[in-house]
Amino acid sequence: MTNHLDNMAVILAKRPEGLPNPDDFKLENRPLGDRLSGQVRCQTLYLSLDPYMRSVIAGNHMGHGVDPGDVIAGEVVARIVESDDADWPVGKVVRCQGGWQQFTDQPPEALSRVPAALSRPSLALSILGMPGLTAWAGMVQQAKVREGDMVVIPAAVGGVGAMAAQLCKRAGATTIAITSGSEKRRIATETLGYDHCIDRIEDDLAEALTRTAPNGVSVYFDLVGDPTLTTVAQQLSIGGRVVLCGLIKDYNGDHKTAGPHPGLWITKRATVTGLVVYDYESQRQVFEEEFVPLAEAGELVANEEIHDGLAAAPDAFCDLMRGRNHGKVVVRVGE
Ligand SMILES: NC(=O)c1ccc[n+]([C@@H]2O[C@H](COP(=O)([O-])OP(=O)(O)OC[C@H]3O[C@@H](n4cnc5c(N)ncnc54)[C@H](OP(=O)(O)O)[C@@H]3O)[C@@H](O)[C@H]2O)c1
């Protein structure tokens, strides 16, 4: 006889056109049957919502996608609730691609450990997780930010931007946030310690940059694409470094970033690198060894925006894709 475990899940109802809307998603029970031998049953504690999921539900994210009728994919922190594997015992907290649902059965090789020292598991999805690793890869490994740099960071208070700012400050650089709205401007300067802040909607970006960085921008962490990319690139100092990392404006399908003319990179003697965080997965332990103790000592700000319950995920994701989030978006699914 098969035991059914109720399992609420968020399903893709239809592929969004342009900006996603809550009715592109639906909540339904997808009960789990008996756990197969060798598999580990996981209960989702926290679900990470990330802009790349917009390409996943469009069916075109780096070779994989989700089809209508499927549970939405996504990274989670989960607790093991059934297991016969001594390396992955019941009660252990892990990271896995559990998706937007309460429970999943995973093969052991699909599980990643969560540092035991973490007091809050959501940190493994924010500053100490994929967004934090992305910021470290971009600012420390690729741009090699150092004292004296003038660094511009758009999407400044989100998962990647928040950690990038703190890494740059620790390196002795001056930081300029690009964000939107008074609350995010406040978070940028008062909570995350940016030296300057520009509002991408209210301010004239080119004019504000000339005023704030009269000697030019030495590092630009591009998390958004055009038109911000082209405007900032025009104000690079000679030898400027640009890390291309995200195209938020393009993800909703109504915009295509063209980027600056290559002649600009030539005249600025710029170094332009592309960043895919998956390439840095092998260095995650090095990253964690340095930054878990700092986070636990209260020396890093996580700036998480936590939503309660799986049913909140579609609205929270739609807001994220409209730039209405005020931090790294995480959904608390279970305790
Ligand atoms: N290459 C990689 O491996 C990699 C890994 C992780 C993340 N990323 C990319 O890095 C970027 C930041 O990721 P995140 O998780 O930290 O996201 P996030 O900053 O929490 O959210 C996206 C932010 O983009 C900003 N934005 C700027 N222009 C926008 C527009 N036209 N419409 C909507 N939002 C706009 C908004 O912030 P403001 O209102 O403050 O401007 C919004 O809150 C994303 O593009 C993501 O895909 C890339």
Can you tell me the distance from the alpha carbon of 141 to that of 291, in angstroms, rounded to the nearest whole number? 15
Rg (CA), the chain: 21
Question: How far are the Cα atoms of 3, 184, 268 from residue 152, in angstroms, in the given order?
Answer: 54, 16, 16
Of 248, 252, 307, the residue with max ligand 1 atoms within 8 A of its CB, to mutate for a pocket test, comes to 248
Say how many Å lie between the CA of residue 251 and the centre of ligand 1.
10
Alpha carbons 151 and 196: distance in angstroms, whole number: 10
Rounded to the nearest angstrom, the distance between the alpha carbon of 287 and the centre of ligand 1 is: 22
- Sorted by sequence, the CB contacts under 8 Å of residue 265 that are 6+ apart come out as 233, 272
Atom of ligand 1 nearest to the CA of 275: 1
Determine if ligand 1 sits within 6 Å of the CB of residue 219: no
DSSP 8-state class, residue 101: B
Ligand 1 contact, 166 CB (< 6 A): no
Q: What is the pLDDT of residues 162-171, one digit of tens each?
A: 999 999 999 9
Q: Is the CB of 225 under 6 A from ligand 1?
A: no
Q: In this structure, which residue's CA is closest to atom 25 in ligand 1?
A: 155
Strand, coil or helix: 3:
coil
Q: Boundaries of CATH 3.40.50.720 in the chain? A: 130-278
Q: What is the CATH number of domain 8-126+303-332?
A: 3.90.180.10
Task: Please tell me if the CB atom of residue 316 comes closer than 6 angstroms to any atom of ligand 1.
Answer: no
Three-state secondary-structure class, residue 260:
coil
Question: In this structure, what token pair is assigned to residue 324?
Answer: 């209405």
Q: Quick check: CB of 53 below 6 Å from ligand 1?
A: no
pLDDT, residue 2, reads: 58
Residue 154 class from Cβ within 10 Å (0-12 exposed, 13-18 middle, 19+ buried)?
buried
Distance CA 330, CA 325 (A): 11
Residues of the chain with CATH 3.90.180.10: 8-126+303-332
pLDDT by residue for the chain (335 residues), tens only, comes to 457 899 999 999 999 999 999 999 999 999 999 999 999 999 999 999 999 999 999 887 776 789 999 999 999 999 999 999 999 999 999 999 999 999 999 999 999 999 988 999 999 999 999 999 999 999 999 999 999 999 999 999 999 999 999 999 999 999 999 999 999 999 999 999 999 999 999 999 999 999 999 999 999 999 999 999 999 999 999 999 999 999 998 888 777 889 999 999 999 999 999 999 999 999 999 999 999 999 999 999 999 999 999 999 999 999 999 999 999 999 999 98
Question: Over the stretch 114-162, which tens digit does the pLDDT of each residue have?
Answer: 998 899 999 999 999 999 999 999 999 999 999 999 999 999 999 999 9
How many angstroms separate the alpha carbon of residue 156 from the centre of ligand 1?
Answer: 8
Q: Name which of 270, 280, 284, 335 is nearest 309 in CA terms.
A: 335
Predicted model pTM: 0.97
CATH architecture for residues 130-278: 3-Layer(aba) Sandwich (3.40)
Cβ-based neighbour number of residue 308 at 10 Å: 9
DSSP H helices in 47-129: 53-58
Pocket test for ligand 1, best of 52, 122, 202, 223 (most atoms within 8 A of CB): 223
CB of 161 closer than 6 A to ligand 1? yes
